[in-house]
Structure 1
Amino acid sequence: MSGAAPSTPPVRRLLVWRHGRTEWNASGRFQGQLDPPLDAEGRAQAARTAPVLAAALDPASTVLVSSDLQRARDTAGALAPLLGLPVQVDARLREHGLGSWEGLTRAEVADQLPDQYAEWVAGRPVPGRGGELQADVAARALAAVAELPPAETAVLVTHGGTAGRLLEALLDLGPEHRRVFGPLGNCHWSELSFQASGWRLMRHNTAVPTPGPVEGGATAHRDRGRSGSDVPDAPVPAAGASPEEAAPTQDADA
């Protein structure tokens, strides 16, 4: 941790919102900076979540910024008309680039690249994979926040891996504190507030309850308040998983 006094950011409240589910999330395929679209459940997640977020936002003092990847832009597009705001696009919010893993399933990585896979499961950097370093993902996401237009609140529509690195950086958590927070599920969000001492995490992995049983036997309301992100704690088709988070379950987001 740096211990330096925080500079005042252009916004004092951040909602970090992960995109809705894609078919690749549901099937455990690493996306990275590839760009599969939202699936039917992902579109439904965005449609359920957008009114809840809109009810807690003042359009006159809110900016809406999305990753340039389509799955994030389409998620943001569910909220934009409810606020009467444009979606501003910033490529610095796109997902962690995963190099040679992009397009592969977890099972394929485990089979073809067992040494790399073991490093990932252990939470360590993955040598030889290519793509981006975790620190570089955090740096570009922080730069996007620093250059937001002045507003009271910013809604950042991003991805599981990038959201995790951004939260850690805003809260001044070093590499030894990675995975303190579980990864965001699909269409879940975290809320941060800037106060005199810096950013504080007010809510994490908040979700709109699922209205009834979902695929795979999940029960209604089960995913509210889960503390996950790119990788759920247990198989949760509605939640998704990310590239740089912990042990494999069912679906991988990135």
Structure 2
Amino acid sequence: MRTLYLVTHPEAQHHVDDVVGGWHDSALTERGRQQAERIADVLADRIGPQPVEIYSSDLRRTTETAERIARRFNVEVRTDPRLRERSNGDADGRPQSWLAERRIPLPESGDRLAHHDGPANAETRLQLVERLYPALADILTQPSENQIVVSHGSASSYLILAWLGMPMRSTDLGFFPLTSGSITTLHHNDTHHSHQVLSLNETQHLSS
């Protein structure tokens, strides 16, 4: 059996500054670092002494989170740029108001995955899932029964869809709104060979 823990990074400086995240390489705030320690507490309690692998986006806010978790298990973090959040191109690092003035709204129908939001050099959602799906597939080739993946809100939502076996083209409508600092627990059952979502967007630890 395999259990995969999806962690969204906690509070980062771009949240406080109200600027666009994406590939903007902001660090965790002091509050975010405290939240990362609470996430590590939860995972250490659940996994215990069992072997574990830890994967992370290569942006600072995720690697800082992953490194705090990794210290509890005395393992190394494996970074993968494919686990990054969707790039907003020229909007990354700019005020949210700057992006709001230029964003082209996502249509209700049509080729939503290929839709371009407006800012130059931004990724489409199709480009995002085209890198996330193979990243998860590579992680799942590893034999470890316990794996932790630290990523970002939107990216983690699409990772859940990949885990459930949803075709890439069907991700234009499916989405899970995940809170920063959340834990989602995914499980492969060897009896039914089913991909289960045991918990979604757990946040109780953030207020403890």
Instruction: Name the residue aligned to 1:137.
Output: 128
Q: Is the 8 A contact 2:116 2:122 kept in 1?
A: no
Unaligned runs of 5+ in 2: none
C-alpha separation between the residues in 1 aligned to 2:81 and 2:88?
Answer: 16
Instruction: Name the residue aligned to 1:201.
Output: 197
Q: 2:147 aligned to 151, 154, 161, which one?
A: 154
C-alpha separation between the residues in 1 aligned to 2:86 and 2:145?
Answer: 27
Change in 2 beyond 3 A, CA 1:166/1:21: same
- Which protein has the bigger helix share? 2
TM-score, scaled to structure 2:
0.83
SS in 2 for 1:150: coil
SS in 2 for 1:132: coil
Compare 92-101 and 152-161 and name the one that shifted more: 92-101
Paired residue total: 195
> 1:52-104: CA deviations, max 9, x gaps?
11111144431011111111010011111111111111111111111122122
Instruction: Name the residue aligned to 2:161.
Output: 168
Offset of residue 42 of structure 1: 0.7
Change in 2 beyond 3 A, CA 1:150/1:197: closer
C-alpha separation between the residues in 1 aligned to 2:163 and 2:19?
Answer: 28
Change in 2 beyond 3 A, CA 1:50/1:193: same
Residue type at the aligned position of 1:137 = L
Identity over aligned pairs, percent:
27
C-alpha separation between the residues in 1 aligned to 2:107 and 2:37?
Answer: 33
C-alpha separation between the residues in 1 aligned to 2:49 and 2:107?
Answer: 40
Instruction: Name the residue aligned to 1:41.
Output: 31
Change in 2 beyond 3 A, CA 1:59/1:33: farther
C-alpha separation between the residues in 2 aligned to 1:133 and 1:169?
Answer: 17
Q: Is the 8 A contact 2:35 2:206 kept in 1?
A: no
TM-score, scaled to structure 1:
0.69
Residue type at the aligned position of 1:87 = V
Offset of residue 51 of structure 1: 1.0
Q: 1:19 aligned to 2, 6, 9, which one?
A: 9
Instruction: Name the residue aligned to 1:217.
Output: none
